[in-house]
Structure 1
Amino acid sequence: MSNISRRQMIAGVGGVIVGGAVATALPAIAAPSNFAVTPEWIPHKVDPKIGERFGYDGYYHKGYGCCYGAFYAIVGQMAEKHGAPYKDFPFHMMEVGKSGISNWATICGALLGAASAFALFYGRKERKAMVDELFRWYEQTAFPIYKPTSDIVVNKEIPTSVSHSVLCHVSVSRWSYTTGIPAKSKVRSERCGRLTADVSRKAIEILNAKIDGKFEGLYGKQDSVKYCESCHGKGKESPIAKGKQDCTPCHSGSEATENKFKDHP
């Protein structure tokens, strides 16, 4: 073992974790190891209706939040039905995605959890379209949709809003601005719990379609992205932009995107 470099070790372990994909694709350079052979990480279809409830309950489980909830809605279902290796995943680590990664309000944690579940089974080229579909759907959908019928933490109607962004900061702030409900409130938390259920269900529908060989993306590139890429995309006059998310929330010149550090009331 002492003759194996750290990089070789990581490559070897990575091959085991991702269904043996690395070791299978590159047998000539795969590092030898003394690790026991484990069952392959192959995707199984799961129930979207059960998944949305798992997502909601997972959101509130020990306060782990959105990323954990969405991830468990997918991989947790596989674990409860199929056992190893899914049950051996350290699910608690997904708590890191709560509130846009440790309260930094970057990517919506529910999206991070779902995309992470996709990544357990599919490499970048295969999952790209799956992530694109989920994220673009999220930008354009009024949340929350899900209405739990039992064991409801905040039992009231939750108003909706469309975020036009995959960022937790924008998604929550726009919802709070639209509804007048504080971002740090139990009602807002309930909104995110139900949103986690919605993302879980949609992600499962995408995953199931992928497994069946029937996945087709319905959401194309946003008009704002097409417009901005005409100048700022690869090979264009000013190729400085990176990313796929809707450009409008941050670059539209709206009241919300004006300079708030100058003459702010």
Structure 2
Amino acid sequence: MTAEIRLFTCLTDNFGYLVHDPATKATASIDAPEAGPIIAALEREGWNLTDILITHHHHDHVGGVAELKQKYGCRVVAPHDKTTAIADVDLRAANGDVIKVGSLLARVLETPGHTLDHISYVFDGEKAVFAADTLFSIGCGRVFEGNYPMMWDSLLKLRALPDDFRLYCGHEYTAANVKFALTVESDNPVLKARAEEVTRLRAANKPTIPTLLGEEKKANVFLRADDPAVAAKLHMKGADGAQVFGELRERKNKS
């Protein structure tokens, strides 16, 4: 039996996620933006929290850890970088490690750039990737601690996953990302279709996540910074992917 995944909102625009294994009743929270909505979701489903899988140290992803740990006695898995302040960590995870949540397997990808410690969790059996603040639908995270080549390399790791994987990201930023992306690629038919879909979803107060990676690869300009057509639109003919990505990210920062 495959995992059950529940999505809900936390804080202002964070997503909360629960990944439940029906076979063993284990349940993981991907990050812990705040405890209240996570507890409410667990109680609504009748699930018990066994694990918290943390992607990076920013407070809007770890603010609920201490309260959840106290309430459930759950295991807290965090990036291996011990220089960051994350409470109550039981296990450190590095690139290539496999974390068990009951009978489910989460493969760790190091995806630094937004922060130096950022990791993503890939559930190959579920065809799902939880990329937090590295990759958003039609966008990517700001580069706070790393540099543009580092972030580009992280995006390439995520882009290499199969097209039929579903992307679960950290925030509901899709509408703003679409608005920016259209300033670069107003003639991209897949992007334009996604823009219409996002408008419908948000008007109905529905989340724009998850989205298929295959569609993101066509519509998300940040994932195609090595496409000569994208470089040409930025008047950067001949530039490599990391340089084009840096220019895109700079423009997004100012948008």
| TM-score normalised by structure 2 residue count | 0.29
By relative contact order (CA 8 Å, sep 6+), the higher-ranking structure is: 1
| TM-score normalised by structure 1 residue count | 0.28
Richer in helix (by share): 1
Richer in strand (by share): 2
